Amino acid sequence: MSKSVPALSPEHIERAAREIDPVFRNTPQFTDGHLNAALGREVVVKVETVNPIRSFKGRGTHFFLRQLGEVRQVVCASAGNFGQGVAHAGRALGVDVRVFCAEHANPNKVARMRALGAVVTLTGADFDEAKEAAREYASEHPDSVFVEDGREPAIAEGAGSIAVELFDPARGAEPLDAVVIPLGNGALAAGMARWIKEVSPATRVVGACASGAPAMELSWRAGAPVRTERADTIADGIDVRVPVPAAVEWIRGLVDDVVLVDDDEMLDMVRVVRDSLGLLVEPAAVSGLAAIGRHRVPGDRVATVLTGGNVAQRVLARLG
């Protein structure tokens, strides 16, 4: 780990599991016979969609914002779920929030961010262009703090609290051969992997990227950030074109493998989850399940995280 990138702390991850907003903690984790049959092995699913923002993002954003101290405004870019997490935490802690989103951002996610009190600006052709606009806005407003998902250790450590629960013997946790984690900006994979390698180093950690947005997979293999010219996937939660250097360094040292899944595979798995678990989730949320179904992830007992349930209309139209 380079000196410029702070290491993630197991102590902070454990503290996050105790201190973040209780509405995001102790989420369901279980196996389902129908899902196991569809995937050909025992799969533990950790459901992060049953909370006020319907995604895991509230864990990291709350842990981060509560450590900021007195600030007037937080500025960020988001495809929708991260912005909801920042807005939810900002409202709870009395901090103004401004979110920059791409012009084609999921309207449902935009509406929910605004309902949580965030000022939302739609700009840019994709998430990364929106991020540049957010960074520029913050630089022009000294009373604002720019927060970047995938760069702040506290956000990754807050997300890592999912792994604390997943491996908690008090919750009936049993050994896992592998954990497959949706991989977008990298905070979730890095935070969970840091805890997993601390408490169960033999467990293999696999990241799952969309084949239409392979920047993080390319970066993990290269050991350095690799930008792509474009990203094109229905899974907006993992639609990354420009990797965050800190996140690349974290996952390079913690994640054992990164695999790709395509849009059709994720949509098929959204249907499987709907029909077997009775849950409607985003394509990004099932990238881990799609990877388990497609790739030879080793082990008879594996786990993954259903990361978000803010489903776009265009996804609903394709589900049938």
For 47-104, what is each residue's pLDDT tens digit?
999 999 999 999 999 999 999 988 899 999 999 999 999 999 999 999 999 999 999 9
Q: Is the pLDDT of residue 294 over 90?
A: no
> How is domain 57-151 classified at the CATH fold level?
Rossmann fold (3.40.50)
Q: Using one digit for the tens of pLDDT, what is the confidence trace for 255-289?
A: 999 999 999 999 999 999 999 999 999 999 999 99
pLDDT in tens, 152-168: 999 999 999 999 999 99
Task: Report how far residue 12's alpha carbon sits from residue 252's, in angstroms, rounded to the nearest whole number.
Answer: 20
- Nearest alpha carbon to residue 112 among 316, 310, 315: 310
Mean pLDDT, all residues of the chain: 95
Contact criterion met (CB below 8 Å) for 45 and 72: no
Contact (Cβ atoms closer than 8 angstroms) between residue 180 and residue 292 = yes
User: CA distances (Å), 74 to each of 1, 26, 68, 141, in order?
Assistant: 28, 27, 10, 11
Residues contacting 214, CB < 8 A, separation 6+:
228, 260
pLDDT of residue 58: 98
Domain with CATH 3.40.50.1100 in the chain: 10-55+154-319, 57-151
Question: Using CA atoms, how far apart are residues 43 and 54, in angstroms rounded to an integer?
Answer: 21
Query: How is domain 10-55+154-319 classified at the architecture level of CATH?
Result: 3-Layer(aba) Sandwich (3.40)
